[in-house]
Amino acid sequence: MLKGKSQRKYTTKDGREFVVRRALPGDLEVLLRNFQRVADEEIYVATKKVSKAQKNRILATMKNPRNLSIVADFEKGVGIVGSLTLVPQREVKKMRHVLYLGMSVIEELREDGLGNALMDYALGWAKARKEIAKISLSISSTNKRAIKLYKKFGFRIEGVLKKQFILKGKYADEIVMSLFLR
Ligand SMILES: CC(C)(COP(=O)(O)OP(=O)(O)OC[C@H]1O[C@@H](n2cnc3c(N)ncnc32)[C@H](O)[C@@H]1OP(=O)(O)O)[C@@H](O)C(=O)NCCC(=O)NCCS
């Protein structure tokens, strides 16, 4: 069990306790199941079926101390229901100062405050690392909930790619949002 700075307690908006902690290899199966559930919604991620390559990438992210992979875990209840990663686009020296953020919470537990907790933990981790200058992410213009959350934590729109996605038969723009730490 991870302790101390690796694990932090949070509460949902209606007062239920959960922890945010570093993801462990033993969490992999649950994480894959949760990703598949988000993929099945066919709105938020391009993935249709979680692949072996993705599984290996998730494991590699967990093991790389320059990256962050965390989970929101109701330890005494439903277990892991959300996750967040910060990874460089490419592991090359000239691009390592920028980390890309990806996150999701299973549908049933959205809007309960878990996204806020994951962001709080992740940005605390990133701000303590002087080598990280910027965090970026890409999101659909239709994802108002996530855009609101990212703006709340200081992210600003850096660029827009028009008609980049077709979601449920309708065009949507791709928005790149960033937070500059230095
Ligand atoms: C985006 C996501 C990770 C956020 O997690 P969450 O647990 O739902 O987030 P929270 O409950 O902590 O916060 C959501 C905020 O959005 C607000 N919100 C909810 N619906 C909204 C809407 N339609 N428009 C604007 N804001 C909205 C909530 O009021 C809350 O605001 P607050 O921080 O001021 O309380 C989660 O909703 C999710 O997994 N969505 C699907 C996958 C996804 O979009 N991933 C990210 C991009 S790929």
Nearest-atom index, ligand 1, CA of 106: 39
Q: Cβ distance 134 to 97 under 8 Å?
A: yes
In a domain, 163, yes or no: no
Mean pLDDT for 74-102 is 95
Cα(108) to centroid of ligand 1, in Å?
12
In a domain, 150, yes or no: no
* pLDDT score at 5: 57
179 Cβ neighbours under 8 A, 6+ residues apart: 123, 134, 135, 136, 150, 153, 154, 155, 156
For residue 93, what are the domain limits? Answer: 4-134
Q: Cβ distance 139 to 175 under 8 Å?
A: yes
Report whether pLDDT(49) > 90: no
Report whether pLDDT(24) > 80: yes
Q: Do β-strands 98-105 and 68-74 pair in parallel, antiparallel, or remain unpaired? A: unpaired
Computed over every residue of the chain, the mean pLDDT equals 94
Retrieve residue 102's tokens. 């990806």
Nearest-atom index, ligand 1, CA of 111: 11
Q: What is the pTM assigned to this prediction?
A: 0.96
* pLDDT score at 42: 87
Q: 26: closest CA among 78, 66, 71?
A: 71
Cα(38) to centroid of ligand 1, in Å?
14
In a domain, 74, yes or no: yes
Q: Which residue has the tokens 């934590």?
A: 153
In a domain, 170, yes or no: no
In a domain, 94, yes or no: yes
Retrieve residue 7's tokens. 């694990």
In a domain, 179, yes or no: no
Which is more confident, 87 or 51? 87
Count of domains observed in the chain:
1
Nearest-atom index, ligand 1, CA of 144: 24
Q: Which of 111, 164, 177 to mutate to test the pocket of ligand 1 (most atoms within 8 A of CB)?
A: 111
* pLDDT score at 37: 95
Nearest-atom index, ligand 1, CA of 146: 1
Residue nearest atom 11 of ligand 1, based on CA coordinates:
111
In a domain, 101, yes or no: yes
- CATH (domain of 28): 3.40.630.30
* pLDDT score at 1: 42
